[in-house]
Amino acid sequence: MSSVTLLALVNRVRLFRRQPTTTVVTTPEDEVTVNAINMAIEDVLSTRRWEFDLRHDGQIVLRGLLSSAFVTTSADSTIAIIAKSGLVDADVLGPYVVRVLPTGIADYANTSLRINSSAGGIGGAGSGVVTLEAAFPIGAVLSDCELHYNEYILPDTVREIVRISYQEDGLNLVQADPVLRYDELFPAQSDRTGAPDTIAVGGFDIETYQTALGAPSPGLRMAVWPVPDEDYVLNYSYYRRHPELVAATDTLIGVPQAQVNDIVLQAYSTVAMTWDKDYAAAHFTDLSREQAATKHRAYGGSPGRRHTIRSFENNSGRVHVQRGFPNKVIG
């Protein structure tokens, strides 16, 4: 596997263009090259499932519901106050969506309300002002409520989850349509609490955020059912999305040299056309894509490359030893 810095990639493109190498990335010409490199990385890597991009180190901590909390709000208002002894910022601000279930209001005891943002975090008294997704139709004063944590925003480096488990037991994993809301994925989602059973991944959403800082960038959404009743640690395998390279020392990590070559060739083609006005270089983009597709068919994890592990002992031996993972399909 290759690890190559942005500066090294820029210099490789410059050499294709018969330009001298550089030690810094500051000129407009180099900025065009950087953009071309990031576009090529996205095109070569993120449009395919490469074996080398599969990771098994994903881990996320689910937050259990918080009970014995109180909600105060005015009728037809999106502003509410959440109070609970020991409540802290992390209970309303983080890489997840927080929902409040007003258990003390009979007409809405089964309706969870999304908290979009927190006005200023949680004060020292264990309470804070929050903004709800929709105006609550009736007023409430210190009514009982619960805080639920059903949706999580995955890191930018997670492109697609392919397996997820709790205590080594695989969970039901659903690749959800991006248009589905959480309440469409799991109708009456508040009816049950407990250990995670089904995970739905798909679409983009934003986490509950501090109002003064503005809405964060959307991220890949992971929805959990049922409502976690306590903190759980989930492990998952995923295809990695390579972060954008910005600084000269930023590094493209874990990509074989063969795919790095395709990235450089495609970036050169883009720079040659946009900066050098050499439109004949367009065929290098086609060549790069064709090479990447050929390599992916040969080495990208096609089912044709999977094989079955048999016993290391042959059947003619006196002792038949089952070692490794006999008769298990791998790859």
Highest averaged pLDDT of the listed ranges 107-116, 189-198, 262-271:
262-271
- When pLDDT is cut at 50, 70 and 90, the band that residue 2 belongs to is confident
pLDDT over 80 at 177, yes or no: yes
Q: Are 215 and 209 in contact (CB under 8 A)?
A: yes
Q: Which of 216, 239, 262 is the last residue of a domain?
A: 239
Q: How many CB atoms lie within 10 A of CB 83?
A: 17
Using one digit for the tens of pLDDT, what is the confidence trace for 192-204? 899 999 999 999 9
- Written in H, E and C, the secondary structure of the chain is CEEEEHHHHHHHHHHHCCCCCCCCCCCHHHHHHHHHHHHHHHHHHCCCCCHHHEEEEEEEEECCCEEEEEEEECCCEEEEEEECCCCCHHHCCCCEEEEEECCCCHHHCCCCEEEEEECCCCCCCCEEEEEEEEEECCCEEEEEEEEEEEEEECCCCEEEEEEEEECCEECEEEECCCCCCHHHHCCCHHHCEECCCEEEEEEEECCCEEHHHCCCCCEEEEEEECEECCCEEEEEEEEECCCCCCCCCCEEEEECHHHHHHHHHHHHHHHHHHCCCCHHHHHHHHHHHHHHHHHHHHHCCCHHHCEECCCCCCCCCCCCCCCCCCCCEEC
Identify the residue with better confidence: 315 or 114: 114
One domain for residues 92 and 217:
yes
Using one digit for the tens of pLDDT, what is the confidence trace for 50-108? 999 999 999 999 999 999 999 999 999 999 999 998 888 888 889 999 999 999 988 88
Highest averaged pLDDT of the listed ranges 33-37, 131-135, 171-175:
33-37
One domain for residues 63 and 180:
yes
Instruction: Provide the edge-to-edge strand list for the sheet that holds 232-240.
Output: 54-62, 232-240, 158-166, 169-170
One domain for residues 141 and 268:
no
For residues 153 and 230, give the distance between their C-alpha atoms in angstroms, rounded to a whole number: 19
User: What Cα–Cα distance (Å) separates residue 298 from each residue in 51, 254, 291?
Assistant: 11, 18, 11
For residues 262 and 279, give the distance between their C-alpha atoms in angstroms, rounded to a whole number: 19
One domain for residues 20 and 37:
yes
Q: Which of 190, 206, 239 is the last residue of a domain?
A: 239
Domain count, the chain: 2
One domain for residues 221 and 284:
no
Domain that holds residue 78: 58-239
Is residue 153 a part of any domain in this protein?
Answer: yes
Whole-model pTM over 0.75: yes
pLDDT of residue 306: 55
Identify the residue with better confidence: 261 or 326: 261
Residue 10 makes CB contacts below 8 A (sequence gap 6+) with: 22, 25, 30, 33, 34, 37, 248
Average pLDDT over residues 162-190: 87
Degrees to nearest 5, angle at CA 296 with 291 and 302: 155
One domain for residues 124 and 193:
yes
One domain for residues 114 and 166:
yes
For residues 152 and 139, give the distance between their C-alpha atoms in angstroms, rounded to a whole number: 29
Q: Which of 239, 256, 283 is the last residue of a domain?
A: 239
pLDDT over 90 at 122, yes or no: no
Look at the chain and count its residues: 331
Is residue 312 a part of any domain in this protein?
Answer: no
One domain for residues 269 and 156:
no
pLDDT of residue 182: 83
Residue carrying the six token digits 């309440």: 183
One domain for residues 30 and 104:
no
Is residue 306 a part of any domain in this protein?
Answer: no
One domain for residues 177 and 223:
yes
One domain for residues 175 and 83:
yes
Is residue 246 a part of any domain in this protein?
Answer: yes
Is residue 174 a part of any domain in this protein?
Answer: yes
Is residue 260 a part of any domain in this protein?
Answer: yes
Is residue 188 a part of any domain in this protein?
Answer: yes
Across the chain, mean pLDDT equals: 87
Is residue 34 a part of any domain in this protein?
Answer: yes
For residues 228 and 330, give the distance between their C-alpha atoms in angstroms, rounded to a whole number: 33
- When pLDDT is cut at 50, 70 and 90, the band that residue 303 belongs to is low
Q: What are phi and psi of 27, to 5 degrees?
A: -80, 155
For residues 262 and 9, give the distance between their C-alpha atoms in angstroms, rounded to a whole number: 11
One domain for residues 168 and 226:
yes
pLDDT over 90 at 136, yes or no: no
